[in-house]
Amino acid sequence: MAKVLIAGRIPESAISILKDGGLEIEVFDDSKALITKDELKGKVTDKDFLITPLSTKVDKDIIDAAPNLKLIANYGAGFNNIDTEYAKSKGIPVTNTPKVSTTSTAEVTCGLIVSIAHRIVEGDQLMRTTGFSGWAPLFFLGTELANKTLGIIGMGQIGQAVARRMKAFDMNIIYSGRHPLDSETERELGAKFVSFDELIKTADVVSPHIPATPDTHHMIGAEQFKQMKPTAFLINAARGPVIDETALLDALKNHEIAGAGLDVYEKEPEVADGFKSLKNVILTPHIGNATVEARDAMAEIVAKNTVIASKGGEPNYIVNK
């Protein structure tokens, strides 16, 4: 019987699919800690398939420790935690779970935009501590989003989902990327294609929706923050390394931009202490796709891909062909 290691707890629906597929299952079942590298190396040695969460690094050492490995199914839309090229050299396909995170991640992005503009989290903290003396005309002023400009970097599925939702807030939508969308989609979204530099200079809210690659590393850094409006907000629910966090912290402290909403971090799960003391920053623990609906859909993808591979078929969403 083929063996599969699940390197972290995932929804039970995946277990049922794997069992129905005739696979022998081992789950790293620790709710308090992630699997360590040594634990992963020890457990994957005799496994045919590996299902791993986005937070677990699968490098050359792990792959070499599993001579029977036929598939690495990443439980996440990203896959920069896996050495995909080395896996490819060993004939091991790597899959991810795209598309099903779109709605959840877009909603979290929009929530961060509304919250930072209207100082909702800051207001909650105030009411839990000192409180307030009452309504006053100039007290705790935020910023309306209507007629402001949202700049989306990377207009893929998530970027489009964000644009569609924020259009309902009467925001003007501009976007940058490798290629413009077709004219019909642009009309539907009310979106205008601009250069990256123009977006940085003119947007009131900047929101990247791009993968973490060598080309996108620190795509937004000190130079960009100096070009942004001093009233602008930066939102990141994409990948931490696309932002130079040292430069962002300086920009916030020096009031080069007005604020930021961060759901992902450059050295995740670490968060630079400097952010924690700033009132104009919202910090959330990578909850972009943390919904029952999204995580169940992700579980179904990794389980079905594993069953397909166990029967000699080609799984869906291979990222290292």
Which pLDDT value is given to residue 164? 98
> Is 268 annotated in the active site?
yes
Which pLDDT value is given to residue 33? 84
Burial group, residue 57, by CB count within 10 angstroms (0-12, 13-18, 19+)? middle
- The mean pLDDT value of the chain amounts to 96
When comparing pLDDT for 33 and 20, which is higher? 20
> Is 118 annotated in the active site?
no
Least confident of 30-34, 160-164, 178-182: 30-34
Which pLDDT value is given to residue 32? 75
> Is 239 annotated in the active site?
yes
Residue type, 283: L
CB 26 within 8 A of CB 6: yes
* Mean pLDDT of the 94-104 span: 96
- Global pTM value: 0.91
The tens digit of pLDDT for each residue in 255-304 reads: 999 999 999 999 999 999 999 999 999 999 999 999 999 999 999 999 99
Residue 187, phi then psi, degrees to nearest 5: -65, -40
* CA contacts within 13 A on the Cβ side of 179: 5
CB 282 within 8 A of CB 276: no
User: Exactly one of 122, 239, 245, 256 is catalytic; which is it?
Assistant: 239
Residue 31 has pLDDT above 80, yes or no: no
* Mean pLDDT of the 186-209 span: 98
Residue type, 181: L
User: Exactly one of 164, 198, 286, 300 is catalytic; which is it?
Assistant: 286
Domains, the chain, with CATH or none: 3-98+292-310 (3.40.50.720), 102-283 (3.40.50.720)
How far apart (Å, rounded) are the C-alpha atoms in residues 290 and 276? 22
Shortest CA distance to 281 belongs to which of 258, 255, 256? 258
